Structure 1
Amino acid sequence: MLLQKITENLSFRLFTVDDAEEVFTLINNSRTYLREYLGWVDLTTEVKDSETWIKTTLQGMVETGGFPTTVAIIYGGKIAGTIGIQELNRANRSASIGYWLGEGFQGKGIMTKACSSLMDYGFNELKLNRISIKAAFSNEKSRAIPERLGFREEGHIRQAEWVYDHYVDHVVYGMLAEEWGSYQK
């Protein structure tokens, strides 16, 4: 999955260190928006922070045997956000999907298409049996993604994540390979 075209204007690609400034600018321009649900935003204060993060994601490919855990979502030739398969458990053939999108890219169906494409990759290429998505209970936009894609709501995790000065609850959604196959038909 070095480069994957999803639609004419939408694709995935690996990050490069040269993306650091664009990623930082995207975060900085969406800082207030992203900060509501992402606890790492205040830790990204300069381009060097984005560069370090990109290097860490690229190093993660070594640790997973060449599998990228996070990729850039490219929309109209610009980095719109990130998406990745996390918590990969090869023994149980399960993983979760995590994502974020810059504020200016909201409402275009980008993340739903990106998640669908990544799920195809997870189920068909990685041969996963289960993919989950966790979203903050009050984050309606993020929760709408798995709901649109036919995930089942499986539970509610109380005080699952510390975001700056308070805990947020998470809703857990799950999809099995056999369900994705029938959903896609």
Structure 2
Amino acid sequence: MFQLNIDRDVSIRLFNDRDADELFQLVMNSREYLREWLGWLDFTQRVEDSAAFINETLKALVDTGGYPKSAAITYKDAIAGTIGFNEINKFHKIGIIGYWLGEGFQGKGIMTKACRALTNYGFKTAGLNRIEIRVAEGNLKSKAIPKRLGFTEEGKIRQAEWLYDHYVDHILYGMLAEEWENK
């Protein structure tokens, strides 16, 4: 079972079916805050939508070979957000990390710790050679994470994501296994 205990307060773990209510409440409490950068919020209207998301993430474990497509970030045992490999290319050994954090959990270093732990897991346990993080160009808080972890800014993906009524460009950050090892 996938679980990364990062420190006394922060961990990453697989979702379970009992998490639907808590995840739904986190999304509802942070809905306006998250809406600026996450395009899926209109698809989360009921607890059952969060339950369906959790079921999808657990089924995806088979497709990815056991790597989390999305897992719960917990802070002091409360679900604070999610992180995982949005995509894994097993042939090329590339993983793309995606993440979000509820509004009330911002500014505590949680996401930097979680992203560092998942990157380390990706290279050391999952055997990836490259990890990417793609961030909306204007999302300064999210862009700070890969920069803080030493990822290289590699370019811009134009109109990479549709957010409700407009496209946003993504900045692509990359890290190679050999670079991570030398940190």
- Once the two structures are aligned, what percentage of the paired residues are identical? 59
| Residue 32 (1) aligns with residue 32 (2) | yes
Amino acid at match of 1:131: I
Distance, in Å, in 2 between the alignment partners of 1:70 and 1:90 is 17
Q: What residue in structure 2 maps to residue 147 of structure 1?
A: 147
Give the superposition deviation at 1:65: 3.0
Distance, in Å, in 2 between the alignment partners of 1:153 and 1:59 is 32
Distance, in Å, in 1 between the alignment partners of 2:69 and 2:165 is 28
Distance, in Å, in 1 between the alignment partners of 2:132 and 2:2 is 23
Distance, in Å, in 1 between the alignment partners of 2:108 and 2:84 is 19
Please report the TM-score for the alignment, with normalisation by the length of structure 2.
Answer: 0.97
User: Structure 1 segments of 4 or more deviating over 6 A?
Assistant: none
Q: Unaligned stretches of 5+ in structure 2? A: none
Q: What residue in structure 2 maps to residue 182 of structure 1?
A: 182
| Matched length | 183
What secondary structure is seen at the aligned counterpart in 2 of 1:15?
coil
Amino acid at match of 1:43: F
Do 2:67 and 2:126's aligned partners in 1 also have CA atoms closer than 8 Å? Answer: no
Please report the TM-score for the alignment, with normalisation by the length of structure 1.
Answer: 0.96
What secondary structure is seen at the aligned counterpart in 2 of 1:170?
strand
Q: What does the per-residue CA deviation read over 1:138-185, in whole Å, with 9 as the maximum and x for residues that have no partner? A: 0000000000000000001111110000111110000001111112xx
Residues 6-45 of structure 1: pairs in structure 2 closer than 5 A: 6-45=6-45
Give the superposition deviation at 1:3: 2.1
Q: What residue in structure 2 maps to residue 87 of structure 1?
A: 87
Q: Unaligned stretches of 5+ in structure 1? A: none
With 24-33 and 59-68 compared, the bigger mean Cα shift is at 59-68
What secondary structure is seen at the aligned counterpart in 1 of 2:107?
coil
What secondary structure is seen at the aligned counterpart in 2 of 1:20?
helix
Q: What residue in structure 2 maps to residue 162 of structure 1?
A: 162
Q: What residue in structure 2 maps to residue 78 of structure 1?
A: 78
Distance, in Å, in 1 between the alignment partners of 2:173 and 2:16 is 31
